[in-house]
Structure 1
Amino acid sequence: MRKPLAEAAQTMGCSELDLTYVENIVCKSKTSFAAGMQVLSPERRYGMYALYSFCRIVDDIADEEGDIATKHRLLQEWRDKMPRLYDGHAEDAVERVLLATIQRFSLKQQDFIDIIDGMEMDVEHPIVAPDEKTLDLYCDRVASAVGRLAVCIFGDSSNSAQEVAYHLGRALQLTNILRDIEEDAGRGRLYLPKELLERFRLPLDPKGCIHHPNIDQVCNILAYRASDHFKLARRFTAQCSQKSLRPATIMAITYGYVLCKQRKLGWKQPFQRASLSMLEKITVTGIGLLMGFIGSKR
């Protein structure tokens, strides 16, 4: 039996060195994302590693220290790279594996542009109390666009799979917003929508908002919205190839569990950020694998 790396290299037409490079980006990040990818075939797994590497690079441009002009320039460079990639030109390891992934799974260029545009929203100026429309656009660009690419790599490009990407992306991003509210405030960011803050008379500045006694009321409403998106994602997943979307099922269960933990902890000071223990991570991954296995037998 060929090793996964060798199999992926032959199938995708990439060097093992390039594939190892994108795999190392995932490993160094210590993300829980990697666990769900282990159920994929080698070529799909390394395709997801390439997508993750791209997202990691542009996200770091937006989040790391640096002047705004340089961040705009670096994001524009990636925006300019996309047409060249789609013309078959790649310059480094990430681009070469990304090019092979784009060609292998017929990924849409606009989804990559949407992700870059989402990073640009964080660079232009700190997002503070966006209106509902802007928040939804942000969630679509930084999360659902990733999902639209991911489901194609997983092996299902149907309309139902695109709906899974739409709803699961929003569910995951809202969960991240609710879990990282204190960290974001430290960066001068506040992703809670202006309309909700004004309804419950919370200040529109990050530090003032997260210390307000009504913060739980606003966050609970967003948590219910995230839960609704998780439910809709499950509904559309049932219409898809269960085997193909097994990684999405694992991510949905994992993040759904995180959301439940954060709701129990609440959002009042002193803030406690929900996280999963190693045992919990193993348990929810196992549940996701079991559900995907049962679904594939129907």
Structure 2
Amino acid sequence: MKDSWTVPESRPTYLQEAYERCTHTFPARDKNIYQAWCRRTDDLVDEPNAIDVGVDVLDRWEERLQDIFNGRPHDILDAALTDTVYKFPIDIKPFKDLIDGMRMDITKCRYENFEELYQYCYHVAVAPGLMVVPSVELQPEPLRKLYDTVLYVCIAVQITNILRDVKEE
């Protein structure tokens, strides 16, 4: 069960500022709160300083995620996600799965078979897609189809990205 979450009384426009900050802080393609959070997570392991990132950084990021879901944002960007979590039936699992994918990024660079590659793709591509699904209002059957579509499309896009990266390198 989610703890209660309230906006600071001294800042009535805090949430508006939080959502605006998310859309202005990240590239044009990262215009929703889920994408902003995914970008922040991905930047932990993909930025130039990421070579120094250890699993402990991701452990702390996962603790921060738990705080967000418990109504305790650490900063204004976290506040936008905290608010979104309270507006929609969003599960923490896809967010944790993405963090696990980032752990894979820093601990493994070669996948021995398709099953291992599929697991990686699931964590870094499908999980972010699944974050958005609960905020889409659909009846159960179209919702099931949406979940399936997210799975197949995100796996295909991630494998395409990997193949593109291999060609470039």
Report the TM-score range of the alignment, normalised by the length of the smaller protein.
0.7 to 0.9
Task: Establish whether residue 150 from structure 1 lines up as the match of residue 132 from structure 2.
Answer: yes
SS of the equivalent of 1:94 reads helix
Q: Which amino acid aligns with 2:155?
A: R
AA partner of residue 167 (structure 1): Y
Residue number in structure 2 paired with 1:134:
116
Aligned residue number for residue 16 of structure 1? 16
Judge conservation of contact 2:45–2:53 (CA < 8 Å) in 1. no
In structure 1, what is the equivalent of residue 37 of structure 2? 54
Aligned pair 1:180/2:165, yes or no?
yes
Structure 2 length-normalised TM:
0.80
Letter in 2 for 1:57: R
Residue pairs, 1:1-298, within 5 angstroms = 15-26=15-26, 29-31=27-29, 34=31, 49-66=32-49, 70-125=53-108, 127-156=109-138, 158-183=143-168, 185=169
Percent identical pairs in the alignment equals: 25
Residue 142 of structure 1, CA deviation: 0.7
Cα RMSD between the aligned structures?
A: 2.2
- The alpha-carbon deviation at position 69 of structure 1 amounts to 5.6
How far does residue 50 in structure 1 lie from its aligned partner after superposition?
1.4
Q: Residue type of the partner of 1:130?
A: E
Question: Looking at CA atoms only, which structure, 1 or 2, has the larger radius of gyration?
Answer: 1
Higher relative contact order, chain-length normalized (CA < 8 Å, sep 6+): 2
The Cα of 1:55 is off from its aligned counterpart by 0.8
Residue 117 to residue 58, structure 1, CA distance change in 2 (3 Å): same
Local SS of the residue matching 1:180: helix
2:19 maps to a residue whose letter is L
Q: What secondary structure does 1:66 align onto?
A: helix
Provide the rounded CA distance (Å) in 1 between the counterparts of 2:39 and 2:85: 17
Query: In structure 2, how many angstroms separate the alpha carbons of the residues matched to 1:181 and 1:100?
Result: 39
User: Would the aligned equivalents of 2:15 and 2:79 in 1 still touch at CA under 8 Å?
Assistant: no
Output one character per residue of 1:182-226: Cα deviation in whole Å (capped at 9) or x when no partner. 34x3xxxxxxxxxxxxxxxxxxxxxxxxxxxxxxxxxxxxxxxxx
Structure 1: runs of 5 or more not aligned = 1-12, 35-48, 186-298
Question: Which secondary structure state, in structure 1, belongs to the residue aligned with residue 112 of structure 2?
Answer: coil
